[in-house]
Each structure stands twice: as C-alpha cells, then as structure tokens.
A and B are shown apart, each in its own frame.
Chain A
Amino acid sequence: MAAVLDVTPVNAWTALRRRLQQDRVGTVSLGIVVAYLVMILFATAGWLAGGWSQEVGVPYANPAFLGERPNLEAALGKRQARSGVVPDLSAVDPLAPKYAEWERRTGELRMTEPERAMTLPWGGDRWGRDVLDKAIKGSQVSIAVGVLAALCATCIGTLLGAFAGFYGRWVNDVLEWVYNVFTSIPSILLIFSLAAVLRSGAFAHLFASGIWTVVIILAFTGWTGMYRLVRAEYMKHRSREYVLAAQAIGASAASRMFVHILPNVSHVILVQLSLLVVAFIKVEVILSFLGLGVPLDMVSWGTMLSEAQTELVIGKWWQLAAATVFMAIFLTAFSMLIDSLRDALDPKLR
C-alpha cells in the first residue's frame, strides 16, 4: 500500500490560507490590502502624513512632474500680499482708536512665514497642503469609518439574527417586524433622517467631532442584510446533531448560540462583513462629500472629492486623481479579495 492519503485534519483557517495562496488574484489583492493596512497603521501612529494639515506649498502647488506649469493662483496670492496699501479712514473708522493697541500686541507676537515649496510631489490644494499626504490621511479616515461601521453593523445584525434564528417563535416575529420596518424605509431617507437628527439633536454635542456620527449612521442603517443571513444560518444549524449533542451535555442556550454555532457560521459573517466595508466606504465618501460625514477638520476621500469639484474647473486635477486612484485601488483589491475569500470558504468547491 504505497498510496498515502493525506488525511491529517487541518485547521479551517490554515486550509483557507492554503487555498488563498493557490489563487493568484487573491494573493495579489491580499498584498495590496495589507499594504493599505500598513499605511493606515503608520498614518495612525503619525509616522506617515502626520503633517497633512500643514500648508507646506504655495496654493495649488504644481505636481513635481509638472513644475513648469504656470500657477496663476499662487502668483495672484503673492501680488495681493505685496500691494497692501490701506487708505486712511481713521476719521470715519469706529475702530481707529484701538489700532495702536493692536499694533503693539501684534508686535509682541513673532510671526514666521514658513518657506513654501513651489512644487509638491503630487501637487497641493487650495491652501498649499500636500495632496499625497491628504490622500494617505484620507485613506486612513475613510477605511477606518468603513471598517468600524461594518463591525458595528455586524455586531447588531449577528446578535439579532442569532436570537431570531435560534429562538424562533415570538422572538423571531418581533425581530422580523423590526427588520421589515427598517427595510421598508428607503435607506437614503433613513440615513438623511439620522443625519438631520444627529446634527441638530439632543446629542449633537456628543458627536460634534470625530467619525462616530457617520459610523453610527451607517451601522444603524446597514445591519439588515447581515441579520437576514445570520438568521437563516441559525435556523439551519439549531437542530443539527452537533447542537443537539451540545444541548444533551447541558450546554446553555447562550453557549450553544455563540460557542457552538457561531464558529460554524463565521465564514458567512466574514464575507458579508467585507461586503459591508466596501458598501460603507462608498456611502461615507458620498456623505462626507455632502458635508454630512466626517467633520471639517478631518480629511476623507469624500471631502477631497468635494474640494476637487471646484478645482477641476480651473484645471487643478491632481486632488481628484489622488482621491480616485487611492479609493479605486483599495476597493478593487478588496472586492477581488472578497471573491477569492468566498471561493476559498465555499465547501462545495473544496
């Protein structure tokens, strides 16, 4: 008997890794996604793009490879600064008596005008900030929003789906009613309602800064698909032998739900979670563009695009290009990775 069958049981995640490695598209996508994650980690630590809000260049600084291009906007700004002749209005100006004091106090402060670069690696925006730094920082914010919101939505959807699927009966009826309510409101209206409420509402000051407003909006409106999937899985699994066996040895309902069944449906959750990340990043970009997303002192792909719209008309295309390319590469790689992941996790193809 020379034929040796390799029947050593492998851990499910080891098997997944092996299958992913055989998939060339999947490996490349995984590499790109990991590269983005490293970039985000560095940006969060402040090693990369820490000074994105510094005005390091002249307004609309040209990209380094287009250094020769005339930059009328920067030249205009310089001319205005130089020709600062103020007509004498002290006879009618009610603030005239205070000027002397203000002059004195200004004199106490020392202003240093930093040297502004004429060109930046990938150009500058209206205030002379480095577009490349902004794109990196924007990636951090946009992806963080997408991932955090997807995690929150997954928690809500999984918890409710587990309860509805596992207990059935009236628990299921009640949760189905909630699901129907949420899905019968067009999602964009739910998002807008929530945005209106969180902007002007009783808790507005809590969410005035940071990314939590948009995370809450996305999680609260996006959990329904996850709920439906998890519920179906739990309905399928709750009467399987291994769950009944667990019940026979005295495992509690909570233990059966989250210790026994959850690992067996985790692949479904993982794929849906990744799909949510892609969807949420797209929505975040639109919300930030409309001014309903991340606050003004942060940068995301959406806020970059909203600046890019006016810049494009005067021929400054680099911010639009940077935001688009960063977003497109990440989302393409991530979507391809999801496809590979789904194939690798599908037991039918094994």
Chain B
Amino acid sequence: MVPTLAGVILLVFLLFKFFGGDPSQILAGQVASQEQIDAIRRELGLDQPWPVQLWIFVREIVSFDFGKSWMTREQVSSIFLTRLPATLTITIPILLLEAALAIPAAMLVAYYRGTLLDRTVMAICVAAMSVSFLVYIIVGQYLLGFQLGWFPVQGWSDDFWRNLFTYAPLPVLLAALVGLAPQTRLYRSFFLDETKSDYVRTARAKGLSEPAIMRKHVLRNALVPVLTNVSLLVPGVFVGSFLLEIFFSIPGLGREIYLAVNRSDYPVIQAVTVYLSVLTMLINLAADVLYTLVDPRIQLR
C-alpha cells in the first residue's frame, strides 16, 4: 500500500508539474507584472528545483494542509468537510437502494433462468444500459420534477432530514434505477454460476425444493461475489454522484471538483484526488478483511 500511495502522489505531481499550466500564470492572470509572477512563484516554491517541489507536495499531503483554493480562497480542508455530507446524503441511499433492488431481481430472473421472463428482463437490461445516464436524469428531472411536480426540481438546504426526504429522493431514485440494469445482469450471472455447482445438485438429490435451494444455498454462496462488487462500488460514494450534483445543484464534492476543473483550481483537484485514492485503498483493504469473515475459504496471505 505504501509504494502504491507513493506512486499516486508521484503520478499526480508529475501530471500537474509537466503537463499542467504554470500556476503563477493561472494565478496572476493575463496582465501581471514580472514582480507579481516572481512573488507568486516564490510563495508556491516554484523557483525551487523540482525534487524540492515534490517534497513540498508530500509535506502538504502528510500535514493535511493543502492551503487555499486558488480561486475562492477557501481552505481546501474546509471544502472537504462542508461538501462531503451533501454527497454522502445521496450516495449512501443510492448504494443501499441499488443492492436492495438488484439482489432480489437477480435472484428472481436466475430462478426463472432460460424462460421468456428471464430473456425479456435481460433484453430490457441491455437496452436500458444503452441509454445514457444523462438522458435518465434530464427526462426524470423534467417529467417527475417539472411536469408532475412530485419532487422539487433542484435545491438543497442546511437541514439533514429535509435534504434526505425532500431533495434527495429524486436523484436517489434516478440513480438507483439506472444502476439496477447492469447490477441485475451481473448478479444474475453470479447466481447462475452457483446453480451449476455440485452442492446444488446434492441439495436437489436429497429432495429440497427449488425455492429452498435458491434461498438457503445459492443466495448465501452468491453473496460473496456480490459483496466484492458492492465493495468496488463503495469508493464511488465520494464523487460518483457528480452528475447528479451538477443537475440538482447539490453542493457536494463531485460538483466541487467539476467546478475546480472548469476554473483550473489545481490545489482542490490534487487534494481531492490524493485523499480519495487513499480512502479507496483503505476501503479495499477493509473489504479484503471482510471476505475472510464472510467466506472462510479465503485467507489473507
């Protein structure tokens, strides 16, 4: 994990150092005197050789002090603290709702495998996956929010419960519906893999009913790959909802980094990238540990 982290830091540093624009020019703007530019370069340490600059970058990361956003002068750490709650308010319900809908749906179509129902659902899934997420959001926002008025079109407040029950439902619903098709398809294949295994044949041989096999044997074994997949989705809770945040004006982390890209706000992008990579690594580690609890056959080396 430490070499990977070092690699992430190096990659982000090199990317911005050698491909990015000169920070002093972005900061000072088009009309700046040479003294102003020099002053900014000194302040940011840009007049140092690049290994020293890398060291400054590492120090910023370790001390959690990325300074201020170039454009809004807001502390980068405060951007994290104030934007993350809004993001999590919509992404965690999405994650839970998706799993709650996709697992039963996949179990159902796997139970009726090969029938017309199975094939119809799978064809609908492929077609549904071919329509861009954007279209679902645009149409959903227009139809459910604007035309029918069931949900507010967009907005956000300071009150958590109000956000969760007034503003979050529409984006959550749309995202969960969009995530349903690919996940059902994937989980169905997990269930089908299990139905071919020997223990299912044994269970059939001893006369267990098909629903009981599905519920007691197949489900429990198929949950291992399902869990793997969910754990792969967990890091997405931090910025995965950026499209929803942009459409529904939710002041979350994803929208913030999109805005930062538009105004070339390098410190914000760098900080979010590095810290979320660390978080991703930690979550993956936790998932690995979790497996050993779920499936005793797996052992960590």
Contacts and interface: CB of A to CB of B under 8 A. Distances in A.
Interface of A: 177-178, 180-182, 184-186, 188-190, 192-204, 282, 285-286, 289-292, 301-302, 305, 308-309, 312-313, 320, 323-324, 327-332, 335-336
Contact of A189 (B4, B138, B276): B276
Contacts of A308: 138
B298 interface: no
Nearest to A288: B134
Given A193-B15, A197-B21, 16 more contacts: A177-B7, A180-B3, A181-B7, A184-B280, A186-B236, A189-B269, A189-B276, A189-B277, A196-B266, A197-B15, A198-B19, A201-B21, A202-B21, A285-B132, A301-B132, A328-B127
Interface string B146-157: 100000000000
Interface stretch (B30-38, B102-110, B198-206, B239-247): B239-247
B293 interface: no
A200 B132 contact: no
Interface in B258-279: 258, 260-262, 264, 266, 269-270, 272-273, 276-277
Contacts of A327: 130-132
B12 interface: yes
Interface residues of B, number: 54
A192 B11 contact: no
B131 A193 contact: no
Contacts of A305: 132, 134-135, 138
Contacts of B76: none
Nearest to B146: A313
Contacts of A329: 130
Given A202-B19, A324-B135, A332-B127, A177 B243 contact: no
Interface of B: 3-5, 7-8, 10-12, 15-16, 18-22, 26, 126-127, 129-135, 138-139, 142, 146, 235-236, 238-240, 242-243, 246, 254, 257-258, 260-262, 264, 266, 269-270, 272-273, 276-277, 280-281, 284
B257 A189 contact: yes
B19 A201 contact: yes
Given A200-B20, A309-B138, A324-B132, A292 B261 contact: yes
Given A289-B134, A305-B135, A186 B16 contact: no
B8 A184 contact: yes
A335 B20 contact: no
A185 B133 contact: no
Contacts of A312: 138-139, 142
A327 B133 CA distance: 12
Nearest to A182: B11
Contacts of A332: 126-127, 130
A202 B14 CA distance: 13
A324 B238 CA distance: 28
13 contacts: A177-B3, A180-B4, A182-B11, A184-B281, A186-B238, A186-B277, A192-B258, A199-B264, A204-B21, A290-B258, A292-B261, A309-B138, A320-B138
Given A324-B131, A328-B131, A200 B8 contact: no
Contacts of B127: 328, 332
A181 B12 CA distance: 10
A186 B130 contact: no
A192 B268 CA distance: 11
Contacts of B130: 327-332, 335
A193 B13 CA distance: 11
Contacts of A185: 8, 11-12, 273, 276-277, 280
Given A186-B280, A286-B133, A192 B269 contact: yes
List the 5 closest A-B pairs by CB distance, nearest first.
A181-B7, A331-B130, A200-B264, A200-B21, A332-B130
